[in-house]
Structure 1
Amino acid sequence: MQIKAQPTVYDAIIVGSGAGGGMATKVLADAGLKVAVVEAGPYFDPALPEYQTQLKWPYESPRRGAGTVRPFGDFDAAWGGWEIEGQPYTHKDGTKFDWFRSQMLGGRTNHWGRISLRFGPRDFKHKDVDGLGDNWPIGYEDVKPYYDKVDKLIGVFGSRENLPNEPDGFFLPPPKPRLHELYYIKGARKAGIPVIPSRMSMLTKKINNERGVCFYCGQCNRACQVYADFSAGTCLIFPAQKSRGQVDLFVNSMVREVTTDQEGRATGVSYINREDRKEYQLRGKVVILAASACSTARILLNSKSPQHPNGLGNGSDLVGKYLHDSTGSSRAAFVPSLMNRELYNEDGVGGMHVYSPWWLDNKSLDFPRGYHIEVWGGMGMPNYGFGFNPNEFNKFFGLKTGGYGEQLRKDVRKYYGSVLGFGGRGEAIARKDNYCEIDPTTVDEFGIPVLRFHYKWSDYERKQARHMQETFEEIIHNMGGEPLGPTPTAEQDYGLETPGRIIHEVGTTRMGDDPKTSVTNRYQQLHEAENVFITDAGPFVSQADKNCTWTILALSWRASEYIVDQLKQQNI
């Protein structure tokens, strides 16, 4: 195959345009650097009519918005999914792992829940607490200045609570709880579970002239046409294009490998254009991989050379190892006192207005680490599968519901808004034997070797999920509700989601001070190639009981400032 080399030499080539890649683009372009952003999917801007799904009615979709073609529904701003035609992945030893890929400018940040939590001091040093896993080589004090910067640049609503291991930040005013959340507050607090305003990156007040303010349509997963919610494209890459640097976008470009010279230093990347199916090369002084934890591991493992026979940065044989996703177990409830509700607009932001951070001491429990509780419900826009399932009501409560025509309309009005649910999102223990590697016999439609996954939950995660279910049932009882469906059993892993389903995968290129036990240093720089950095969640040593995006952003900012400094000193 003839490979076409581009003549431009960039200061930095950034692979991936999500949280980590977007932040690196913004920081480096603001510093005046010439940057190339390489994205596997197409261009996307929710402000342009051709990309908008926000404020569309369900009947404008041939499937009434159902998730039969796209994983989260026709209107969701996630182009990709767990299965992508022509881009398979495989499994080893009968294990399961579902790998979500969002291929578009901005990546997963276009549709994510925007739950924006800082890791706490204990989360960086958890081995000191329970002896499990490893400590990070950095601590909260190293990341705090960058959390502060992210809060101020992007905007996050919340409240100052002074809770241990739940660091406060710089918050915009939070929206008020809706009716179903008031029920949750009552049930949770009766069980001794704290409930506080959510911390989410939607603008409840204006912070600059580039972005609008949330108008509470409740459709943040569709990506906001006024840029009121955080997406990497709208809030980082587009502003970077207006800064004093140069930003060139290469969309629909599947990166095959990082190219290297005879000294083992990176010289750029090789990618396949999805439109003409030809292979191209970009040249750069620095390569930043931010393609997501697993995609970055795949690129490194496929970047073999005489200097890096085991894959770039993989002399320790740890690239792809210590993969872990958040734990997740959920429950829904029917609350009879919420039947026959008065109909009014209570959409709010696209997600929860309140949540429960981890509240217990593990010394009195039979599992390590913890989880937070996310809440859903209310009277969102009805579409196919919007939460009223006649079969479930008939099966579990003996209620004669459903049918067609007028009877169906009466039942929908009667039960609309009477169902709410909870999701526990917790921390798994990072283990070396959970990993991704290159499948020796399978390639994708572009001829690039694919990943093979090996992943198992341990009893730590199963016991955590059992505790989630016990907690949910107590809250439901306190609300005067009835659980929908039977309690998940031990044989069902207490409702634990398949690994990968929470889409918080981290840890495949872990950071550390010792090159023998880590892939990158504390600035996310490869031990074995000083001009290659990783700014996605791969360098995470552990996950914490929080969503990982705010930490990806903060660490990417920190690494990017280090890159600028090292370039000025001509160290890389």
Structure 2
Amino acid sequence: MSFQIKSPGEAYDVIIVGSGAGGGMASKILSEAGFSVAVVEAGGDFDPAKEEDRTQLRPPWESPRRGASTRNRPFGDFDAAIGGWDIDGEPYTRTEGTEFDWFRSRMVGGRTNHWGRISLRFGPNDFKRKSIDGLGDNWPIGYEDIKPYYDKVDQLIGVFGSKEGILNEPDGYFLPPPKPRLHELFIKKGADKMNVPVIPSRLSILTKPINNDRGACFFCNQCNRACQAYADFSSGTCLVKPAMKKGKVDLYTHAMVRKVTTDEKGLATGVSYISKVDMKEYKLKSRVVVLGASACESARIMLNSKSSNHPDGLGNGSGMVGRYLHDSTGSDRMGFIPDLLGRKKYNEDGVGGMHVYTPWWLDNSKLNFARGYHIEYWGGMSMPSYGFGFGMDTIRKYITDEFGKPSQNGGYGAGLKKDIRSYFGTMVGMSGRGESIPRYENYCEIDNNTVDKYGIPVLKFNYNWTDQEINQAKHMQDTFEEVLTNSGAVLMGEKAGPDSKYGLHAPGRIIHEVGTTRMGDNPNTSVLNSNCQAHECKNLFVVDGGPFVSQADKNPTWTILALAWRTSDFIVGEMKKKNI
């Protein structure tokens, strides 16, 4: 593993900016093809198997905050996420009326260290939405173009699930799924009454070994803490570090990329970055530059990469870099199940995520919104996190209101402990994650009046939800209420109404932003071609969520991985032909 700067004049074949899903996949494929690769990461090194990085299976008293969140650990001390929506010295701005929260990960592996491992393929319809509802644009590729790469990703990384034969929820190569837990069986009972499908989840967690480098899941329900057995997928443990062992890969950490450098012909020659260690600027050279820094960060780098050949930013002659930014929609509801009060306590931890989920099941042509959503379920008796128990008075109130008998145990001491033990395992919840409509009017741009602490101009966001997303959120809330009630749950809190956009999270909060460097056949309306190659700079590629034309009602990671593999194969072919 090298952190050294190459000597002047010495160049890599490929520089990859970012070590998340797309950058990690590119590092593996390109290095194994024999090319020298530099991976440039804005955060630090991270390995969940090392004691200094391990968060898995640590008890609350090992944190002075008992696991509470901090500025750079927004999901808590015991979550693997390092970064957040608010990073010291790395601001971003918004236009008036915009609600957009931008999550940046600052660690090797990026967001793949702490995500939900929900590993869904886009379906045939997801690439051709304009042909179906007339909104947005079709992708220049179809499911048949990416299917071979989904197959490869399934087999390389591992994903559990079940073959269901649903047209737009394509089956893959699945490991055995875990059985539903008790709270999930209650939810399924309620969903069955409404003909809402509930099927085994598709998560990239190894329920059985697939190679000698990674262990199988031991069901501690802590995938968000990153797995010391490497049983769940993260880019660092499954792609970047293996690539460094097998190929010619140098890793540069704490390196904040300022821009892509170009020559007199406008071609990429490498990158310029600021070292967070000494705050000095360095340059790396390469034949090819691959951006995988996340949709918005890659757009920022391109917009800041101005030159005489690219006066508005690298690859931005069309003015499309930063445009069509969109995030998944999200809305939630929770309740508690009285039938589970005082339940017997036993280990039902399972995997760190849902064992079952609901794919989109309705016909949008019969609804007042154009795109669908899937439903994620949560609850059960996993290890309590920071803040558990703070809602006991709320549960007591509902028990009193619903059953006419107040808590018998009091609000402190032994009585409180007895109540918590009784209530533990009764909570259930549902989260909708849906597709929004990509719009030219939703975008990020450079704020020329603000720089970060490295002197790099920051992004300004312009974003608003439309009635499409608000109507979808209302449908989520109506569905949640009916499913939970049919499950025997008592609903918690008031139902979200129009004043809160039916509980619709602010854009950026679901951390699925895509679309800022979208692909297309027309250089006037897109940034990249169908191989994720910049129309205006043939040796520049983007492998994160930026190339997406639309998001779909699925999480984007599996498609980022498949597209990155497809793009990397294209790069290998072009470099061997000496076209780039």
Say yes or no: TM over 0.5.
Answer: yes
The alpha-carbon deviation at position 397 of structure 1 amounts to: 4.5
SS of aligned partner of 1:530: strand
Partner of 1:310: 312
Partner of 1:327: 329
Partner of 1:568: 576
Partner of 1:18: 20
The alpha-carbon deviation at position 548 of structure 1 amounts to: 0.2
Contact 2:198 2:356 in 1 (8 A): yes
Contact 1:25 1:240 in 2 (8 A): yes
Does residue 447 in structure 1 map to residue 485 in structure 2? no
Aligned pairs for 1:194-233 (under 5 A) are: 194-233=197-236
Q: 1:495 to 1:343 in 2, by over 3 A?
A: same
Give the Cα–Cα distance (whole angstroms) in 1 for the partners of residues 109 and 449 of structure 2: 31
SS of aligned partner of 1:158: coil
SS of aligned partner of 2:537: coil
Partner of 1:295: 297
The alpha-carbon deviation at position 59 of structure 1 amounts to: 1.6
Contact 1:18 1:290 in 2 (8 A): yes
Give the Cα–Cα distance (whole angstroms) in 1 for the partners of residues 389 and 543 of structure 2: 37
Corresponding residue to 1:492 among 500, 511, 515: 500
Contact 1:116 1:156 in 2 (8 A): yes
Could you list the per-position Cα deviations for residues 425-483 of structure 1 after superposition, in whole angstroms to 9, with x for gaps in the alignment? Answer: 00000000000000120000100000000100000000000000000000111011111
Aligned pairs for 1:136-535 (under 5 A) are: 136-243=139-246, 245-386=247-388, 389-398=391-400, 399-400=406-407, 403-535=411-543
SS of aligned partner of 1:495: coil
Partner of 1:62: 64
Which amino acid is the alignment partner of residue 286 of structure 1?
A: V
Which amino acid is the alignment partner of residue 313 of structure 1?
A: G
Contact 1:9 1:282 in 2 (8 A): yes
SS of aligned partner of 1:147: helix
The alpha-carbon deviation at position 352 of structure 1 amounts to: 0.3
Partner of 1:91: 94
The alpha-carbon deviation at position 154 of structure 1 amounts to: 0.2
Give the Cα–Cα distance (whole angstroms) in 2 for the partners of residues 383 and 463 of structure 1: 33
Q: 1:17 to 1:558 in 2, by over 3 A?
A: same
Give the Cα–Cα distance (whole angstroms) in 2 for the partners of residues 457 and 402 of structure 1: 45
Give the Cα–Cα distance (whole angstroms) in 1 for the partners of residues 365 and 522 of structure 2: 31
Could you list the per-position Cα deviations for residues 125-173 of structure 1 after superposition, in whole angstroms to 9, with x for gaps in the alignment? Answer: 0111100000000000000000000000000000000012000000000
Give the Cα–Cα distance (whole angstroms) in 2 for the partners of residues 149 and 476 of structure 1: 38
Contact 2:85 2:103 in 1 (8 A): yes
Contact 1:402 1:408 in 2 (8 A): yes
The alpha-carbon deviation at position 68 of structure 1 amounts to: 4.1
The alpha-carbon deviation at position 396 of structure 1 amounts to: 4.3
Contact 1:6 1:280 in 2 (8 A): no
Contact 2:261 2:268 in 1 (8 A): yes
Could you list the per-position Cα deviations for residues 471-512 of structure 1 after superposition, in whole angstroms to 9, with x for gaps in the alignment? Answer: 000011101111110011111100000100000000000000
Give the Cα–Cα distance (whole angstroms) in 2 for the partners of residues 564 and 74 of structure 1: 41
Give the Cα–Cα distance (whole angstroms) in 1 for the partners of residues 543 and 495 of structure 2: 40
Give the Cα–Cα distance (whole angstroms) in 2 for the partners of residues 336 and 556 of structure 1: 47
Contact 2:268 2:539 in 1 (8 A): yes
Q: Which runs of 4+ in 1 moved over 6 A?
A: none
The alpha-carbon deviation at position 392 of structure 1 amounts to: 2.2
Give the Cα–Cα distance (whole angstroms) in 2 for the partners of residues 164 and 205 of structure 1: 27
SS of aligned partner of 1:376: strand
Which amino acid is the alignment partner of residue 529 of structure 1?
A: C
Which amino acid is the alignment partner of residue 283 of structure 1?
A: K
Partner of 1:113: 116
Contact 1:396 1:485 in 2 (8 A): no
SS of aligned partner of 1:238: helix
Q: Identity over aligned residues, as a percent? A: 67
Which amino acid is the alignment partner of residue 415 of structure 1?
A: Y
Contact 2:160 2:206 in 1 (8 A): yes
SS of aligned partner of 1:23: helix
Give the Cα–Cα distance (whole angstroms) in 1 for the partners of residues 360 and 99 of structure 2: 27
Partner of 2:403: none
- Could you list the runs of 5+ residues in structure 2 that have no partner in the other structure? 401-405
Give the Cα–Cα distance (whole angstroms) in 2 for the partners of residues 185 and 26 of structure 1: 40
Q: 1:402 to 1:171 in 2, by over 3 A?
A: farther
SS of aligned partner of 1:531: strand
Partner of 1:550: 558
SS of aligned partner of 1:97: coil
The alpha-carbon deviation at position 190 of structure 1 amounts to: 1.0
Contact 2:389 2:420 in 1 (8 A): no
Aligned pairs for 1:30-41 (under 5 A) are: 30-41=32-43
Give the Cα–Cα distance (whole angstroms) in 2 for the partners of residues 274 and 194 of structure 1: 49
SS of aligned partner of 2:332: strand
The alpha-carbon deviation at position 294 of structure 1 amounts to: 0.3
Which amino acid is the alignment partner of residue 579 of structure 2?
A: N
Q: Which one is further off, 69-78 or 152-161?
A: 69-78
Q: 1:342 to 1:6 in 2, by over 3 A?
A: farther
Q: Which one is further off, 538-547 or 63-72?
A: 63-72
Contact 2:12 2:286 in 1 (8 A): yes
Give the Cα–Cα distance (whole angstroms) in 2 for the partners of residues 395 and 75 of structure 1: 31
Q: 1:484 to 1:114 in 2, by over 3 A?
A: same
Contact 2:336 2:492 in 1 (8 A): yes
Give the Cα–Cα distance (whole angstroms) in 2 for the partners of residues 341 and 273 of structure 1: 54
Aligned pairs for 1:35-54 (under 5 A) are: 35-54=37-56
Give the Cα–Cα distance (whole angstroms) in 2 for the partners of residues 430 and 391 of structure 1: 42
Give the Cα–Cα distance (whole angstroms) in 2 for the partners of residues 16 and 490 of structure 1: 39
Give the Cα–Cα distance (whole angstroms) in 1 for the partners of residues 100 and 301 of structure 2: 19
Give the Cα–Cα distance (whole angstroms) in 1 for the partners of residues 62 and 420 of structure 2: 21
Contact 1:220 1:229 in 2 (8 A): yes
SS of aligned partner of 1:439: strand
SS of aligned partner of 2:13: strand
